[in-house]
Amino acid sequence: MGCTDSSDIPKEQSDLKDYLENRGYQVISYEGLAETYELTKEKITELPYIMYWGLQSVEPALYFGKTINVEKFLVKNHPLSKGEVDVYVYEVDGQPIGGTSFPHGERLYGGFWSLDGETIEELQAKSFQDWRTDWINKYSKNGLVQPN
């Protein structure tokens, strides 16, 4: 994954850069395509995707069967950290639909944050356990939570 200075961001990612700047973030660099996958009901009930998609403000079902491109940027002026933050913008058909963020260079295990640095507990109106049960019941094939 190469690092591209903010002024040298490829044309294909300029809309994503604008998306981040419109949220108040200063884009330092474009880090490249982090991941590409097809969104399915199965995928969003498994780790880490259950966490990634639980942090989004969009309804995942709108994107089932679609290719999700995850583009990585390095930004400043982000609520998650006074320093630099890695942001992963989710893009479908050339349009940004959300994303996640992570403090740059920090080794924090188990931490998941929305594009704007919020946790699932901050975004959902229920406990994590209740949210997870409801999510799996909504999206799993048989609609029943499987024991761990």
User: Does the residue 50 lie in any domain?
Assistant: yes
- For 30-47, what is each residue's pLDDT tens digit? 999 999 999 999 999 999
Domain total for the chain?
1
- 104 lies in some domain: yes
Q: What's the pLDDT band for 109 if we cut at 50, 70, 90? A: low
CA dist., res. 104 & res. 117, Å (int) = 12
pLDDT digits (tens, 9 = 90+) for 124-144: 889 999 999 999 999 987 655
* Enclosing domain of residue 67: 4-139
Q: Report the alpha-carbon distance of residue 89 to residue 73 in Å, rounded.
A: 8
Q: Is the pLDDT of residue 121 over 70?
A: yes
- For residue 146, is it within any domain? no
How many whole angstroms separate alpha carbon 135 and alpha carbon 75?
31
Share of the chain above pLDDT 90, in %: 72
Q: Judge whether 147 lies within some domain.
A: no
Per-residue pLDDT at 84 exceeds 90 = yes
